[in-house]
Structure 1
Amino acid sequence: MANITSLGIGSGLQLESIVEAYINAEAIPQELRLQEKEERLGLELSGVGSFKSAMSTFNDTLSKLTKSDAFNKQIITSSTSAIDLTSNGSASNGDFTIDVEQLATGTRLHSQNFTSSADFVGTGTLTFGNGTDSFDVAIESADSLSAIRDKINAQSENFGVTANIINGSSGSFLVFDSQVTGAANALSVTSSDASLDSISTNNSVERIAQDARIVIDASDTSPGTTVTSSTNEFKNTIEDITITVKELTVAGEPAELSISQDKENANALIEEFISGYNALADELIGLGAAKQGRLAFDPNVRQVKRELADTVIQAVSGLTGSIESLSDIGLELNRDGKLEKSTFSYENFGSGQQRLDNTLENKLTELGELFASPTGIATQMADMIDGYIGSDGVLTQRVTILNERVSGIADEFSELQARLRSYEETLRNQFSFLDATVSQYNATGAFLTSALALPDNN
Structure 2
Amino acid sequence: MSTVTSLGVGSGLDLESLVTQLVSASYDSKFQTISDKQDAITVQLSAVSQVKSALETFQDSLAKLKSADSLSERQTTVTNPDDIEAFTAEATSSASVGNYKIEVLGLAKGSVATTQDGTFSSSSDVVSTTDGVMTFSAGDETFDVNVTAGMTVSQLRDAINKSASNFGVNANIINTGDSTVGTKLVFTSSVTGDPLTNNLTITNNNSELDKVSTVASGGGSTMSLKDSQQAHITIDGVDAYSDSNTMENVIANVTLELNDVTDTDSPSTLKVGTDSDDIEQYIRDFVDSYNSMMSTLKDQTSSGTFSSSGTALTDGGALQGDATLRGFMNQMASLVSNVVQGASPQLNTLYALGISMNSDGELEIETSNSYGGESGEDRLSSALEDNFDDIAALFSGDNGIATQMDSLLEQYTQRGGLLDQKTDTYNDQLDDLNKQETDLSDRQTSYESTLRSRYTALDTALAEMNSSSSYVLNLLASL
Q: TM-score, normalised by structure 2?
A: 0.86
Q: Distance in 2 between matches of 1:364 and 1:391?
A: 36
Contact 2:115 2:185 in 1 (8 A): yes
Please say if 1:117 is aligned against 2:126: no
**Secondary structure in 2 aligned to 1:215?**
strand
Q: Distance in 1 between matches of 2:4 and 2:433?
A: 37
Contact 1:107 1:205 in 2 (8 A): no
AA matched with 1:120: V
Residue-by-residue CA offset, 1:6-36 (whole Å, 9 max, x unaligned): 1111112221111111121133112212321
Residue 449 of structure 1: how far off its partner (Å): 3.9
Contact 1:109 1:203 in 2 (8 A): no
Which residue does the alignment assign to 2:311? none
Select between 336-345 and 19-28 the one with higher mean Cα deviation: 336-345
Residue 410 of structure 1: how far off its partner (Å): 5.1
Q: Distance in 2 between matches of 1:298 and 1:57?
A: 21
Q: Distance in 2 between matches of 1:131 and 1:304?
A: 62
Please say if 1:436 is aligned against 2:460: yes
Please say if 1:164 is aligned against 2:172: yes
**Secondary structure in 2 aligned to 1:431?**
helix
From the superposition, tell whether residues 310 and 263 of structure 1 become closer, same or farther in structure 2 (CA, over 3 Å).
Answer: same
From the superposition, tell whether residues 320 and 359 of structure 1 become closer, same or farther in structure 2 (CA, over 3 Å).
Answer: closer
Please say if 1:192 is aligned against 2:205: yes
Which residue does the alignment assign to 1:7? 7
Q: Distance in 1 between matches of 2:417 and 2:238?
A: 59
**Gaps spanning 5+ residues in structure 2: where?**
215-220, 305-314
Residue-by-residue CA offset, 1:349-374 (whole Å, 9 max, x unaligned): 95443332222112222211221112
Contact 2:48 2:419 in 1 (8 A): yes
Q: Distance in 2 between matches of 1:27 and 1:387?
A: 43
Which residue does the alignment assign to 1:226? 239
Select between 100-109 and 437-446 the one with higher mean Cα deviation: 437-446
AA matched with 1:229: S
Q: How does 1:55-454 map to 2 (within 5 A)?
A: 55-80=55-80, 81-112=85-116, 113-122=119-128, 123-170=131-178, 171-184=182-195, 185-201=198-214, 202-205=221-224, 207-217=226-236, 224-291=237-304, 292=315, 293-319=317-343, 322-341=346-365, 350-403=374-427, 405-406=429-430, 412-453=436-477
Select between 415-424 and 33-42 the one with higher mean Cα deviation: 415-424
Residue 273 of structure 1: how far off its partner (Å): 0.6
Contact 1:73 1:261 in 2 (8 A): yes
Q: Distance in 2 between matches of 1:435 and 1:131?
A: 112
**Secondary structure in 2 aligned to 1:236?**
strand
AA matched with 1:62: L
Q: Distance in 1 between matches of 2:205 and 2:438?
A: 94
Aligned residues: 448
Residue 443 of structure 1: how far off its partner (Å): 2.7
Residue 257 of structure 1: how far off its partner (Å): 1.5
Residue 440 of structure 1: how far off its partner (Å): 2.2
**Gaps spanning 5+ residues in structure 1: where?**
218-223
Q: How does 1:29-68 map to 2 (within 5 A)?
A: 29-68=29-68
AA matched with 2:88: D
From the superposition, tell whether residues 10 and 132 of structure 1 become closer, same or farther in structure 2 (CA, over 3 Å).
Answer: closer
Residue 295 of structure 1: how far off its partner (Å): 1.7
Contact 2:2 2:463 in 1 (8 A): no
Residue-by-residue CA offset, 1:117-138 (whole Å, 9 max, x unaligned): 3333123222222354433333
**Secondary structure in 1 aligned to 2:71?**
coil
Which residue does the alignment assign to 2:218? none
AA matched with 1:280: M
Residue 43 of structure 1: how far off its partner (Å): 0.9
**Secondary structure in 2 aligned to 1:69?**
helix
Contact 2:76 2:271 in 1 (8 A): yes
Q: Distance in 2 between matches of 1:174 and 1:386?
A: 66
Select between 208-217 and 445-454 the one with higher mean Cα deviation: 445-454
Residue-by-residue CA offset, 1:24-80 (whole Å, 9 max, x unaligned): 113311221232122111211111111011111111101121122121122211112
Residue 86 of structure 1: how far off its partner (Å): 0.6
Q: Distance in 2 between matches of 1:258 and 1:302?
A: 49
From the superposition, tell whether residues 359 and 200 of structure 1 become closer, same or farther in structure 2 (CA, over 3 Å).
Answer: same
AA matched with 2:200: L
**Secondary structure in 2 aligned to 1:11?**
coil
Residue 417 of structure 1: how far off its partner (Å): 3.3
AA matched with 2:95: A
Q: Distance in 1 between matches of 2:398 and 2:370?
A: 30
Q: Distance in 1 between matches of 2:404 and 2:260?
A: 48
Q: Distance in 1 between matches of 2:435 and 2:286?
A: 46
Q: TM-score, normalised by structure 1?
A: 0.89
AA matched with 1:385: L
Residue-by-residue CA offset, 1:287-344 (whole Å, 9 max, x unaligned): 1222232221122321221121121122233446643332332323222111123666
AA matched with 1:63: A
AA matched with 1:227: A
Cα RMSD, aligned residues only: 2.5
Q: Distance in 1 between matches of 2:246 and 2:371?
A: 49
Q: Distance in 2 between matches of 1:321 and 1:69?
A: 21
**Secondary structure in 2 aligned to 1:70?**
helix
Which residue does the alignment assign to 2:310? none
AA matched with 2:105: E
Contact 2:75 2:91 in 1 (8 A): no
Residue 213 of structure 1: how far off its partner (Å): 1.2
From the superposition, tell whether residues 243 and 417 of structure 1 become closer, same or farther in structure 2 (CA, over 3 Å).
Answer: same
Q: Distance in 2 between matches of 1:242 and 1:258?
A: 13
Which residue does the alignment assign to 1:26? 26
**Secondary structure in 2 aligned to 1:120?**
coil
